């Protein structure tokens, strides 16, 4: 087996990721057959076996707000249980930096490697789903003085990012969102300003948002809901959440998903009351 570091993902990576998705249901792959947006920068590690790309690891060198570089690893289903994943992890662990390695859907193979390498389970991220058989509550109005409108590209990026930063100053990834990140997302095929809701106060200031997403397979997502700490309460979060959920249902999505930290008890309570149920857990390991 040969391990090769590259500055870009070569043309074998999309096929490997598509094969992994067909087997495991993840990762999300773009409709054009390329690599996900989050894999278009950083460092790329390929495992070659007999001339074929048997495994792939992506290292986000920008990292998170805690100083960790973020690693995601994938092994082609046809090359599993041959030591490819262990070889990728061993090579990644030579990086002289704090690392967090993500296991999608709490994969048992990843758990075995983590135990062998003495990696600690440090974070759990739930994916929850809302079946279309679950009836949504009627939309609610935000409190007096606050109205909802949709996002205007070229005008609202900074205001939205400011709210996001205040709402997620505790979050290792979401709090790092920049205007450039939002502008880049606007160029993606899935971006739809009609599904990006802003809460605006009587002074015209953005105080909350609900950014929805429709995946290439038609699945709807509660992508991000953020409320400025000074504007929390009064049913604003519920109003924004329901606006997005009703919008996605009107788009005809087969189901709606979201991601939430396993220890975010208030958010979990809200989503469970709306009918969301746990589908699977993503796990982050750290040395």
Nearest to 15 by CA among 109, 92, 79: 79
Q: Is 74 marked within a binding site?
A: yes
> In angstroms, rounded to a whole number, what is the distance separating the alpha carbons of residues 274 and 140?
13
Say how many CA atoms lie within 13 Å of 55 toward its Cβ.
27
Flag whether 38 is marked binding: no
User: How far from chain centre, in Å, is Cα 113?
Assistant: 23
Q: Is 275 annotated as a binding residue?
A: no
Q: 71 labelled as ligand-binding?
A: no
Is position 85 annotated in a ligand binding site?
Answer: yes
Rg for the chain (alpha carbons), in Å? 20
Is 272 annotated for ligand binding? no
Is residue 75 marked as binding? yes
Angle at 141 between CA 140 and CA 144, to 5 degrees: 150
The verdict on whether residue 33 carries a ligand-binding annotation is no
**Is the CB of residue 112 less than 8 Å from the CB of residue 103?**
no
CB 108 within 8 A of CB 129: no
238 among annotated binding-site residues: yes
225 is in an annotated binding site: yes
Question: Does 86 carry a binding-site annotation?
Answer: yes
Answer yes or no: is 233 a known binding residue: yes
> According to the annotation, is 51 in a ligand binding site?
no
Do residues 101 and 85 touch, judged by C-beta distance below 8 A?
no
73 annotated ligand binder? yes
Residue 221, marked binder: yes
Cis peptide bond prior to 181, omega within 30° of 0: no
Is 279 among the annotated ligand-binding positions?
Answer: no
| Residue list, annotated binding site for acetyl-CoA | 73-75, 81-86, 225-227, 232-238
| Residue list, annotated binding site | 73-75, 81-86, 173, 213, 221, 225-227, 232-238, 259
């Amino acid at each position: 087996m040969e391990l090769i570091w590259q500055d870009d993902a070569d043309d074998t990576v999309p096929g490997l990721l598509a094969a992994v998705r067909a087997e495991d249901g993840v990762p999300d792959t773009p409709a054009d057959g390329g690599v996900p947006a989050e894999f278009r920068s950083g460092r790329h590690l390929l495992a070659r076996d007999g001339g074929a790309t048997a495994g792939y690891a992506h290292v986000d060198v920008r990292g998170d707000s805690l100083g960790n570089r973020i690693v995601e690893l994938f092994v082609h289903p046809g090359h599993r249980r041959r030591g490819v994943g262990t070889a990728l992890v061993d090579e990644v662990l030579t990086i002289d930096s704090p690392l967090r390695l993500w296991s999608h859907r709490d994969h048992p193979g990843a758990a075995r490697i983590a135990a062998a390498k003495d990696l600690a389970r440090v974070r759990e991220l739930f994916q929850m789903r809302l079946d279309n058989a679950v009836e949504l509550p009627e939309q609610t109005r935000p409190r007096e003085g606050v109205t909802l409108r949709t996002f205007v590209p070229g005008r609202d990026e900074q205001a939205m990012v400011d709210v996001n930063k205040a709402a997620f100053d505790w979050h290792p990834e979401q709090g790092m969102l920049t205007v450039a990140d939002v502008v880049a997302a606007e160029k993606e095929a899935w971006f739809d300003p009609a599904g990006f809701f802003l809460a605006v106060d009587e002074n015209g200031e953005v105080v909350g948002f609900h950014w929805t997403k429709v995946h290439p397979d038609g699945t709807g997502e509660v992508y991000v809901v953020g409320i400025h700490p000074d504007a929390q309460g009064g049913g604003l979060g519920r109003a924004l959440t329901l606006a997005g959920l009703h919008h996605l249902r009107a788009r005809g999505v087969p189901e709606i998903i979201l991601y939430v930290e396993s220890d975010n008890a208030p958010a979990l309570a809200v989503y469970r009351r709306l009918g969301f149920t746990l589908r699977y857990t993503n796990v982050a390991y750290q040395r």
